[in-house]
Amino acid sequence: MPVSKGRKKAKRRPTPPKRRPDPVQTKGPSPTWYVATMFGLMVVGIVMILVNYMGFLPGGTSNTYLLGGLGLIAIGFAMTLNYR
């Protein structure tokens, strides 16, 4: 039985883009006040939770202070998303 030669594949290159992409603009590092605020909120939240459980805050141990401390920690962690 005769053997077929097979098809030759066309050598094609992808078409080049018509315009060049804009260079990526890099932002500088985060300012010092941003970093201090970020870590400050986390530390204040931790201290608020600890002081709440030690009973030094007015009203004894309260869930309001616990949620406030967790909220401050969450805001501090959310600020880390924009940290450069």
Model pLDDT for residues 24-79, shown as the tens digit of each residue: 778 889 999 999 999 999 999 999 999 999 989 888 888 999 999 999 999 999 99
Instruction: Specify the DSSP element, H or E, that contains 44.
Output: helix 32-54
Distance CA 41, CA 16 (A): 50
Q: How confident is the model at residue 21 (pLDDT cuts 50, 70, 90)?
A: low
**Per-residue model confidence (pLDDT) at position 7:** 76
Q: Token pair for residue 78?
A: 């959310």
**In 3D, which of 28, 64, 70 has the Cα closest to residue 47?**
70
pLDDT value, residue 73: 98
Task: Give CA–CA dist 6/43, Å, rounded.
Answer: 72
How confident is the model at residue 75, as a pLDDT? Answer: 98
pLDDT at 22 over 90: no
pLDDT value of position 49: 95
